[in-house]
Structure 1
Amino acid sequence: MGKTIVSWSPVHGQGATTANTVSLASLFAIEYKLRTLLTHTQLSYSSMEYLLGKNMVDEKFEQTGIKALERLMKSRLLKSEAVEDYTETIYRNRLDMLGGTSNGNNKDLLNAVIDVTSDVYDSVWIDAHSGQANEFTTDLLERADFILINLPQNQYILEDFFADQAFFKQIKNKPHAFLISQYDKEANVHIKKIKRKYHLDAPVYPVPYCKDFKNACNSQQVSQFFIRHYSLEKASSAFEFINALMEVNACIAKQFGLSLSIKEEDDQ
């Protein structure tokens, strides 16, 4: 049974949730010898498709993704072996993408999709709709095997979020980590301060700004970016960014008891 990683942010448009999810899942698929699926619960078309160069027009969208699986579910034909037929290949035999659904609040549909996809894939990464957790998001977080909470390096937003004790009661027994997006190590709201001020036991990881990655996003070449930049020298402008993502993935892999990454195997 595959593991489900849910990536979520309490604020819209500031946590870089989609970019982080796409980055981590892409690198995870390259790093580990596992079959990985990437999907989202946004509206019918999200920036995930754009970043990966999958500009699906409405007609194609109806034939692929969760929308197509919804028709199978209603017809009682939703089986694990059918899932791959409705995905877009990103890295052959490593990473597939399942487009989202315009009916993003259909809890039964998403639960059914998670059930069948986790039978096919070793890891399923879900980019959850940002914003304060509603019943749908709450259910998704409860089902997750690992939760990534995406936050900006913004003191006001951090104060507001960490004051929500009800949320932390919900996830306290769930493996989780915090990602500080577009991280600037020179800013006064730094990782050590965040951990100390809010008494965090869970890992807190920086995801630094990377010019090369931003250019890849704007040119819809994110999948190519990770193939080109997987093995980097320290002098590379993308080294710090890639290394930060690898640390997050190593934490997730350890939690799931996964074997060494390809790079770690080569170093032994």
Structure 2
Amino acid sequence: MGKIALWGMQHGLGVTSATAALAAFIGLEYDVRTLVSQPQRTDGDMERFFNKTINQYNRQFFAIGGLGLDSLERVAKSSKLERNSVKNYTLMVERNRLDLLWGSERLNRPQQGSIEAVNMVFRMAAEYYGISLLDARSGQDNEVSNSLIRDADLVVICVNQNISVLEKYFDNQRKHWPEVLEEKPHLLLMTQYDPMSKYKIKNIANKYKLKAPILTIPYNTSFKDHLNDGDIKGFFARNRFVGSSHENHYFIQEVGRAAKTILHEIGINTKLKRIERGN
């Protein structure tokens, strides 16, 4: 299983929407059991982005307790976590391929033992899921995020085309990174990307002499509208096979490139796992 933490150098970089986009795309396109979660829940954005699907598949469970990370934390502390425990506390988004684990507001003020219990939850998730996509709270001084990064197999660092953010990443990495990130394998993801900007990825790579790929989640109005409508799965389903002249084609292609690169990085054969058209 590949545990992937998505993290931003500062707040406001669209980490949650990027995590949701990658999860929705992978759940639609690849036969891999995938878990997505925003462990430190604040405004409930991750759950809201998938709201229409959650309501469709989980009507009888949606409004009741006994689900999510808080419940699993209690199970972990009682030493009763088993292979299917995490699955049993999630909400289904894509049958047999994508589940959402409701995050915890209590983790914003973690109590003794909570962080280790949460790590136990995601370690046990490895017994069932092929990949976990975790939205880690941005910034340096967050104990929960640092723990998620420490335990991750891969970290996706989110930036945007703001020159101050880019300079933090390229010119002064260690000053703006959690110490636990220094030895971790990582990829660079540019969120809300504008390919018409002077600061497009080719120019950024040349300016900073970067050899590694820069992944992107482009800015897309329809995608943003679907996020607000809680229908992110519907957006990808409706635009899955759009032609090259369609206004959403570039967005779909770039999210697909990012997803494929991430899966390759954690050792998943995307050719074998790709779902054939019509399935």
Give the equivalent residue in structure 1 for 2:235: 225
Residues 217 and 254 in structure 2, CA contact (< 8 A), matched pair in contact too: yes
CA distance in 2, matches of 1:88, 1:74: 22
Residues 212 and 237 in structure 1, CA contact (< 8 A), matched pair in contact too: no
**Match runs of 1:1-268 below 5 Å:** 2-13=1-12, 15-43=13-41, 45-53=43-51, 54=54, 60=63, 62-104=65-107, 105=110, 106-162=114-170, 163-165=172-174, 167=177, 170-171=180-181, 173-259=183-269, 260=271
Post-superposition offset of 1:173 = 4.4
Q: Deviations over 1:220-265 (max 9, x none)?
A: 1111111222222112211100100111111122223322166686
* Alignment root-mean-square deviation, CA: 2.4
Say if 1:51 and 1:75 are closer, same or farther in 2 by CA, change over 3 A: same
Q: Helix, strand or coil: the match of 1:109?
A: helix
Q: Deviations over 1:184-239 (max 9, x none)?
A: 11211221232233343432122211121111112111111112222221122111
Residues 29 and 275 in structure 2, CA contact (< 8 A), matched pair in contact too: no
Code of the residue aligned with 1:30 in structure 2: it is L
CA distance in 1, matches of 2:260, 2:141: 27
Count of matched residue pairs: 262
Residues 176 and 202 in structure 1, CA contact (< 8 A), matched pair in contact too: no
Say if 1:250 and 1:102 are closer, same or farther in 2 by CA, change over 3 A: same
What TM-score comes out, normalization by structure 2 length? 0.85
Say if 1:61 and 1:155 are closer, same or farther in 2 by CA, change over 3 A: farther
CA distance in 1, matches of 2:227, 2:272: 25
Post-superposition offset of 1:77 = 1.6
Say if 1:169 and 1:108 are closer, same or farther in 2 by CA, change over 3 A: closer
Identical residues among aligned pairs (%): 31
CA distance in 1, matches of 2:208, 2:181: 16
Code of the residue aligned with 1:247 in structure 2: it is R
Post-superposition offset of 1:76 = 2.1
Code of the residue aligned with 1:85 in structure 2: it is N
Q: Helix, strand or coil: the match of 1:148?
A: strand
CA distance in 1, matches of 2:275, 2:63: 40
Residues 5 and 156 in structure 2, CA contact (< 8 A), matched pair in contact too: yes
- Which consecutive residues of structure 2, in runs of 5 or more, have no partner in the other structure? none
CA distance in 2, matches of 1:168, 1:221: 34
Residues 31 and 261 in structure 1, CA contact (< 8 A), matched pair in contact too: no
Post-superposition offset of 1:87 = 0.4
- Which consecutive residues of structure 1, in runs of 5 or more, have no partner in the other structure? none
Residues 32 and 273 in structure 2, CA contact (< 8 A), matched pair in contact too: no
